[in-house]
Amino acid sequence: MRDAEISKTMSAPTELLTRPEVVYPDSDGQPMADNTLQFDWITTIKGNLDAVFLEDPDVFVAGDLLWYPVEGDNTSCVAPDVMVAFGRPKGYRGSYRQWEEGGVAPQVVLEVLSPGNTIPELLRKLNIYQRHGVEECYYLDPGKGTAAGWQRRGEEFADVPEMNGWVSPRLGIRFQVEARELALFGPDGQPFRTWAELARERNTERQRAEEERQRAERLAARLRALGAEPDSAGD
């Protein structure tokens, strides 16, 4: 064997051993939201979708999580404001690496817009979602009360023609866009609620229960004053 051939044979394993490892960071260094309105919408959508799929162990919902579609490529990544992956188990992830998730791309992504978003940025994300298998994509602008949606048709996205009243085929949630007001409703027809609204509802229920308890105690006291035993059966 000639010296050149020997050198080539010996260098191949060395090249494999010295090939740099691809690093997939868990953060892109960007803030989750640009303002309080955007942050509230992101957390509200993520939390309500968690509740919608609470009993299904194979629906993974995440907010602001980096998604790497292709192994070996750490540049074509994106962090949807909210994403939902059906067929993937719930649980902690530092990032969503599609090749470690059975090749399953998030089927639904939702982006909550802010004044800081740019057209090139939004187009870049849309192209990544289209190229890597997302089935439904929604851009929501709560500040302007508008929404846009796309649904996969073969290899490409098709516009959702009318977002007002549109029901996501995958999520079962309904979008309402009327008079520059944007709202989302769960499959049960109830509007998505913020954490503050949920806490207020719980407080109202507790207050109502306490009032009922006090009313029952007052009635029992009056009956005892009349010589009756509230717990005894009447004739």
Per-10-residue mean pLDDT for the chain, 235 residues long?
Answer: 52 53 80 85 96 97 96 91 98 96 97 91 95 97 96 96 97 95 96 80 65 76 77 54
Which amino acid would we find at residue 81?
D
Cα–Cα distance measured from residue 65 to residue 98, given in angstroms and rounded to the nearest whole number: 12
pLDDT score, position 76: 85
Domain range summary for the chain, segments of one domain joined by +: 22-193
pLDDT score, position 34: 81
Q: Cα-flanking dihedrals φ and ψ of residue 178, to 5°?
A: -140, 135
Cα 167 from chain centroid? 16
pLDDT score, position 6: 47
Can you point out the beta strands (E) in 39-173? 59-63, 67-68, 82-86, 96-97, 108-112, 136-141, 146-153, 156-159
Strand partners, 100: none
pLDDT score, position 63: 96
Tokens 């955007």 belong to which residue? 38
pLDDT score, position 24: 87
Residues whose CB is less than 8 angstroms from the CB of residue 118 and which lie 6 or more positions away in sequence, other chains included? none
Stretch (H or E) spanning 182: strand 181-185
Q: Which CATH number fits domain 22-193: 3.40.50.300, 3.30.70.420, 3.90.1570.20, 2.60.120.10?
A: 3.90.1570.20
Strand partners, 67: 78, 96
> What radius of gyration do the chain's Cα atoms show?
27
Q: Cα-flanking dihedrals φ and ψ of residue 45, to 5°?
A: -65, -45
Cα–Cα distance measured from residue 145 to residue 8, given in angstroms and rounded to the nearest whole number: 64
Please state, as a whole number, how many other Cβ atoms lie within 10 Å of the Cβ of residue 130: 15
Confirm if 66 and 97 have CB atoms less than 8 A apart. Answer: no
Cα–Cα distance measured from residue 233 to residue 92, given in angstroms and rounded to the nearest whole number: 55
